[in-house]
């Protein structure tokens, strides 16, 4: 990551080389005033309630579709404010500056829903190029992220994946998609901005992987610009990560790899069951964790050749990477070793890592409220109580409130 950062590798002083203290809630919430901390507490307390999140998610979707302005305003001042940077790039500047003042970089992610009209796809591509230009002029934004499904009609990806022929019209549209993403990556390459390509549903992912491999071949010759995302909740992804590395190694380009566990587990399992094919998802959480951590070690063993991002809120996976970096004597600010969390989540990981001198960034999602609703619902669902207990975030906020005596 960090292609355009002003931070130089090896700049760290000895003082920054302590082991991060993940129990330090003072550092974790140093970016919040007492008022902000109380607001965050109230929001996470509401999200801790399963029933409320389920009904709230459904009602918000309906209300936004009916264009009820009141709902949009409430969301904007609560859940949107917590998890998003703003409605447009300019709105994000204050969040970016705030993160940077805590040695944390920002990765911009335009949260557009997948659409199919050619005009919408062109607009999403324009927004991506705008974000790349914005990042190039902003030392605290080394990377932008994008979803390929916002740039192409999804049905064409499905056909490609299933090796079904495209009609002449579809071929033309698919070519226009390849042109869009190539134009964006060429610009990113020219300006030294990284591009994370998000991973999505398995029934389109193979087709997207083919596209990303071609992009890496083209733009990752001298340094890592394009990164693919590997979802380790899939049982075939560790193998694919290895195969992609060996291909990159033999063909003379660098692999960019962002590791995630995966966000669409229920949807994947349900579809596989409904359509009667074997689920692509691991049998249990332990298998996902095992492959995730294996993948992480695989990348760190080859950190000179793989630009790597550990995109997780899982403390064990974060600690494992910290331990490996220390054991292998890898500079903590090496541009190929990066941590990333989502804006509004796991500040205790992000800020304690950056305090200890590791490359750390937040994914800052932006876009109109109505377009990021699915993203916000996923965040709310992630923060509900699983077994009637407080969510991890709520526990930490409560600890910090007590520490401050508020
Ligand atoms: C910076 C960033 C970028 C991201 N980008 C993407 C992306 O491009 N694509 C994407 O899909 N997701 C993405 N995610 C979301 C990510 O995939 C996870 O959903 C989320 O981060 C929770 O996983 P975790 O590693 O933080 O930790 P944990 O909370 O330890 O793990 C939860 C995850 O484990 C897996 N899991 C849970 N139960 C089971 C089970 N029974 N069997 C098998 N697996 C199970 C699921 O993937 C679940 O989301 C991103 C996350 C971050 C932080």
The residue contributing the CA closest to ligand 1 atom 32 is 261
Cβ < 6 A, ligand 1 pocket: 198-199, 229, 231, 233, 260-265, 281-282, 284-285, 288, 311-314, 340-342, 363
How sure is the predictor about 76, in pLDDT bands with cuts at 50, 70 and 90? confident
Ligand 1 atom closest to 231 (CA): 11
Confidence of residue 66 (pLDDT cuts 50, 70, 90): low
Q: What is the pLDDT of residues 115-129, one digit of tens each?
A: 789 999 999 999 999
Domain ranges in the chain are: 19-404
- pLDDT for 12 equals 47
Q: Which positions ≥6 away from 86 have C-beta within 8 Å?
A: 92, 95, 366
CA–CA gap between residue 288 and residue 295 (Å, rounded): 10
Q: Domain 19-404: give its CATH code.
A: 3.20.20.220
Return the pLDDT at 5: 43
Cα of 260 vs centre of ligand 1, distance in Å, is 6
- Mean pLDDT (the chain) is 90
Lowest-pLDDT choice from 136-145, 168-177, 312-321, 389-398: 389-398
Per-residue pLDDT tens over the stretch 50-61: 666 666 666 666
- Residue-wise pLDDT for 326-360, tens only, equals 999 999 999 999 999 999 999 999 999 999 999 99
145 vs 389 pLDDT, higher one: 145
Give CA–CA dist 150/208, Å, rounded: 12
Of ligand 1's listed atoms, the one at least distance from the Cα of 264 is 11
Distance 263 CA to ligand 1 centre (A): 5
Mutate to test the pocket of ligand 1, among 260, 268, 319, 385 (most ligand atoms within 8 A of CB): 260
Return the structure tokens found at 94: 């204050």
Give per-residue pLDDT as tens, 187-231: 999 999 999 999 999 999 999 999 999 999 999 999 999 999 999
Q: Which of 323, 256, 313, 325 is nearest to 289 (CA)?
A: 313
């Amino acid at each position: 990551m960090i292609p355009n950062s002003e931070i130089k590798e090896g700049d760290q002083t000895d003082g920054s080389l302590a082991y991060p203290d993940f129990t330090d809630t003072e550092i974790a919430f140093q970016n919040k005033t007492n008022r902000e901390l109380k607001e965050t507490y109230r929001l996470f307390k509401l999200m801790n309630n399963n029933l409320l999140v389920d009904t709230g998610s459904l009602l918000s979707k309906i209300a936004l579709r009916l264009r009820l302005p009141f709902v949009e305003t409430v969301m904007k001042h609560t859940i949107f404010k917590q998890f998003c940077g703003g409605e447009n790039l300019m709105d994000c500047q204050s969040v970016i500056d705030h993160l940077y003042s805590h040695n944390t970089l920002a990765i911009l992610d335009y949260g557009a829903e997948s659409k199919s009209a050619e005009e919408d796809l062109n607009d999403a591509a324009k927004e991506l190029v705008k974000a790349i230009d914005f990042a190039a002029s902003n030392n605290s934004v080394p990377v932008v992220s994008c979803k390929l499904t916002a740039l192409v009609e999804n049905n064409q990806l499905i056909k490609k994946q299933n090796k079904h022929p495209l009609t002449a019209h579809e071929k033309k549209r698919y070519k226009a998609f390849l042109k869009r993403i190539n134009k964006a990556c060429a610009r990113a390459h020219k300006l030294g901005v990284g591009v994370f390509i998000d991973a999505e549903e398995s029934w389109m992912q193979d087709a997207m992987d083919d596209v990303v491999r071609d992009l890496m071949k083209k733009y990752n010759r001298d340094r890592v610009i394009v990164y693919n995302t590997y979802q380790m909740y899939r049982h075939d992804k560790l193998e694919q990560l290895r195969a992609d590395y060996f291909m990159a190694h033999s063909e003379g380009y660098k692999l960019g790899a962002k590791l995630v566990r995966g966000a669409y587990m229920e949807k994947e399992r349900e579809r596989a069951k409904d359509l009667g094919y074997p689920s692509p998802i691991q049998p249990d959480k332990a298998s996902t964790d095992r492959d995730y951590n294996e993948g992480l070690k695989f990348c760190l063993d080859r950190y000179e050749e793989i630009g790597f991002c550990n995109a997780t809120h899982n403390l064990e996976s974060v600690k494992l990477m910290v331990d490996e970096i220390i054991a292998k004597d890898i500079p903590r600010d090496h541009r190929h070793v990066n941590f990333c969390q989502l804006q509004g989540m796991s500040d205790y990981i992000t800020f304690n890592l950056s305090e200890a001198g590791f490359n750390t960034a937040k994914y800052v999602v932006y876009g109109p409220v109505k377009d990021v609703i699915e993203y916000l619902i996923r965040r709310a669902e992630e923060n509900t109580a699983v077994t009637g207990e407080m969510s991890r975030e709520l526990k930490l906020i409560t600890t910090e409130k007590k520490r401050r005596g508020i």
